[in-house]
Amino acid sequence: MANKPKLATVSLAGCFGCHMSVLDIDDRILELIELVEFDRSPINDIKEIKGRCAVGIVEGGCCNEENVHVLKHFREHCDVLISTGDCATMGGIPALRNTIPLQECLEEAYLKGPTVYNPRGKLPNDPEIPLLLDKVYPCHEVVKMDYHLPGCPPSADTLWQALVALLTGKPIALPYELIKYD
């Protein structure tokens, strides 16, 4: 079908659990591809958004400069941007490092940790590696997000109902059971 709206998805500082939850809609994914065409997404492995997208699903918050770059890219190319999952909406597990200074985190991970093997005794500092941010930020503290679906992960039903409502031009009105933070 021509002129289907496009859907882009990405995992920033997340664990891909929210994407697993997208796959957890099971056979409804066949209905989903009737409604949308997937643009950039880990599901089809397209690396850059190619055209204007109706909906962007963002999993994970921003922990490094590449996350910020990708998130801004999504904001530019998506009409409606959805924070999906607790990492996107509040930082999630990666944000546990926010109470510890970044230098201490790196030293623990690469120099002082009990299982570290690092004979050169250096912290990773290759220009190819995205620089870490001072803290992990939820998406809406970096760009404007249009909608939030909390949960770890949000259930397949939550994602499905929200997406179908958006793609068919209806308001997202999720029942009580579908908005959970755990």
To 5 degrees, how large is the angle CA 57–CA 136–CA 23? 30
To 5 degrees, how large is the angle CA 145–CA 89–CA 64? 85
The nearest distance, CB 172 to another protein, in angstroms, is: 10
27-56 residues near another protein, rule: CB under 8 A: none
In residues, how long is the chain?
Answer: 182
104 binds another protein (CB under 8 A): no
> For another protein, which stretch binds (CB under 8 A), given 4-12, 28-36, 48-56, 140-148?
140-148
> For another protein, which stretch binds (CB under 8 A), given 64-72, 87-95, 114-122, 163-171?
87-95
Peptide bond into 150 cis (omega under 30): no
Which one among 152, 156, 164, 167 touches another protein, defined by CB under 8 A? Answer: 152
Q: 122: helix, coil or strand?
A: coil
Strand-strand pairing, 53-59 and 6-11: parallel
DSSP state at residue 131:
P
Which one among 80, 142, 147, 156 touches another protein, defined by CB under 8 A? Answer: 147
99 binds another protein (CB under 8 A): yes
Taking the least distance from each CB to another protein, the nearer of 29 and 93 is: 93
Which one among 36, 57, 63, 149 touches another protein, defined by CB under 8 A? Answer: 149
Per-residue tokens: 119: 């004979």
The nearest distance, CB 83 to another protein, in angstroms, is: 6
Taking the least distance from each CB to another protein, the nearer of 29 and 178 is: 178
135 binds another protein (CB under 8 A): yes
What sign results for the dihedral spanned by CA atoms 127, 132, 138, 141? negative
Question: CB within 8 A of 16, min separation 6: which ones?
Answer: 42, 59
94 binds another protein (CB under 8 A): no
The nearest distance, CB 78 to another protein, in angstroms, is: 17
